[in-house]
Structure 1
C-alpha cells in the first residue's frame, strides 16, 4: 500500500468519524492562511480551533498578540483532520495540496483570494461573515470600517508624490493594496507613474531620480539582511524624503488594520504639507 493511499484511507476514516459535515454555523474552524486567520478571529473567535504558522508572527499578522493562545496547525492534511473541523479556510495560493486532499475527502473548504483594494477588503469581510454564519457581526465591522474610511479619505492627487520602497527595491503600482491606500490618502504613487506592477523592482538610482516628495520604507528586520540594505542606503537618506512606517502587517490583509495604515499615510501627507 502506498503512503498516499494509506493517508487517504486514514483521513477518510477520520471524516466518517465526524467533523466534516456539520450543519448550521461552523463550530470548529481551521484556518490555513494568515489573512483568513485574522478575519476569522475577528468574526468568530469562539469557533477558531487552529490557525496558520504565520498567525503568531507580528511581522505578518496584525493580530499576532491577540491570537497567541490559538493553536497553530502546520498545514498538512493529516494535521487539519485531527482538529475535526467543520470548516477549513484557506488562501487561493497557499497549501494547495492540503486543500485538494481535504476537498476530495468531503471537507468544506472556503478559499479567499488576496485583496488588492479597500473595496475588495470589504467584500471579503462580508463573505467571511456569511461563511462563518456571523453576518451581523460582519455588518457592524463593515459599517465601522466604511465610516472611518470616509473620514480618512482625501481628494485624489492632492498630496505628495510618494514612493513605497521595500526590501530588494520592490514597490507596487496600480492593482495593489499599496496603490489603493496611497490614492485614498490623496498621495500620487510614483510606482504607478513608472508603470511598475505590484511587487515590481526599482533600482536605487531610478528611485532617487524619480525625485519623490516622500520615500516610505518599512521597519528594518532585526539584525543584518542584504535584502533590506537597499532601503537604508545613504543616497535615499540624502534626499530628505525618507520616512519609516512601522506595523507593515497592517497593509496586507482584509481587516480594520488597513485603516491604521491609511491613517499613518494621511499623517505623513499632512506633515509633508504638499
Structure 2
C-alpha cells in the first residue's frame, strides 16, 4: 500500500502530526509559565539545570552527565535518566523545553522545533565573565530567575576573593595530550590568568586552542607546565606528557594533572579549578 502513496499525499499528514504535537505541548491559560518537563542534551546545560531546576522540573540529562571524568555533578546526575542527545529520544520524553549547546546538531534542533518543542541553546563559556551570563540565561529558561540571581551574587563574591592580583606572575603552560594548549581567550586560559599566571601560549601566538610543539614549549621555558589528564589506555598522543625532555627542564615545575572536569563548563564549579591554580602559584612562591 505504501508503495502507491505519492509524496504529495503525505504532506497534509505530516503537517497534522506537527500541529498535534505542538498542541499537546502548549500550556493552558493561567498555567505556571515555568517549563514542567525539561530535557537537557548537553553536558554543560546538564550541570546548570541541575543547579537551578526545581525538583521534578528536570526529567532527563545527557549520557555524559553520569560520566565522573567529564561531569563535576555526576553523582547528583545519577538521580536522573539519561538520553542520547538525539531529537527522537528527546521528543519521546514529552518535554516542553529542551536545553542544548550552540554546537548541538542543527538537524536535531530543527526537528525538535518543527515538532513544536522549544529549544534553548547555550554557547560555551569563553571566560569566567561568561559564567554569570550562562546562569542568568538558564534562570530565565527555567523560570528560576531568583535562584540564578542568588547564585550569581555568590559566584561573583567568591571569584573576587580568589582573584587577588599577585606581585609576581609566573609564566605557565597548559599542556594536554597531542601537544594541545589553549590561549587567553578560552575558559581554561582565563582560569590560569585569574589564578595569577601568565600564559606562554600567548607568546607562541595562540589566543584560543592549538598545537604547541614540545620543542617550542622547551624554548619558551615556562616556570610551570600544568599537564592535562592522561586518559586510560595507550596512545602515542599521550607520549608527550611523559617525554624526558619535558621533565628534564631546569627551573620548570611540571605540575601533574591539575586540569580536570571543573575546567570544562561555565558553571560556578570553575571556582574549584581557580582555587587549585591559585594554590599552585602560592606553593611556587613558597618554594614548595
- Contact between 2:41 and 2:85, CA under 8 Å: does it hold in 1? yes
For 1:67 and 1:5, how far apart are their aligned partners in 2?
40
Aligned to 1:18, what secondary structure does the other structure show?
Answer: helix
Equivalences for residues 48-67 of structure 1 within 5 A? 48-67=58-77
Q: What is the Cα-based RMSD across aligned positions, in Å?
A: 2.4
Structure 1 residue 177 and structure 2 residue 218: aligned? no
For 1:77 and 1:178, how far apart are their aligned partners in 2?
31
- Unpaired runs of 5+ residues, structure 1, are none
- Unpaired runs of 5+ residues, structure 2, are none
For residues 78 and 243 of structure 1, do their structure 2 counterparts lie closer, same or farther at Cα, with a shift above 3 Å needed?
same
What's the offset of the Cα at 1:76? 1.9
Equivalences for residues 183-198 of structure 1 within 5 A? 183-198=193-208
Quote the residue 1:263 is aligned against.
Answer: 275
Aligned to 2:172, what secondary structure does the other structure show?
Answer: strand
- Contact between 1:163 and 1:214, CA under 8 Å: does it hold in 2? yes
For 1:9 and 1:247, how far apart are their aligned partners in 2?
49
For 2:275 and 2:225, how far apart are their aligned partners in 1?
17
Quote the residue 2:39 is aligned against.
Answer: 30
Aligned to 1:65, what secondary structure does the other structure show?
Answer: helix
* Deviations, residues 81-112 of structure 1 (Å, cap 9, x unaligned): 11110111110012321111111222111101
- Contact between 1:103 and 1:109, CA under 8 Å: does it hold in 2? yes
Equivalences for residues 24-173 of structure 1 within 5 A? 24-44=33-53, 46=55, 47-155=57-165, 158-173=168-183
* Deviations, residues 56-102 of structure 1 (Å, cap 9, x unaligned): 11222111122012111112222111111011111001232111111
For residues 93 and 6 of structure 1, do their structure 2 counterparts lie closer, same or farther at Cα, with a shift above 3 Å needed?
farther
Quote the residue 1:18 is aligned against.
Answer: 24
What's the offset of the Cα at 1:230? 1.0
For 1:20 and 1:189, how far apart are their aligned partners in 2?
50
Quote the residue 1:227 is aligned against.
Answer: 237
Equivalences for residues 199-238 of structure 1 within 5 A? 199-238=209-248
- Contact between 2:227 and 2:259, CA under 8 Å: does it hold in 1? no
In the alignment of these two chains, the number of paired residues is: 273
TM-score by length of 2: 0.87
What's the offset of the Cα at 1:242? 0.5
- Contact between 1:157 and 1:183, CA under 8 Å: does it hold in 2? no
TM-score by length of 1: 0.91
For 1:267 and 1:88, how far apart are their aligned partners in 2?
38
Quote the residue 2:254 is aligned against.
Answer: 242
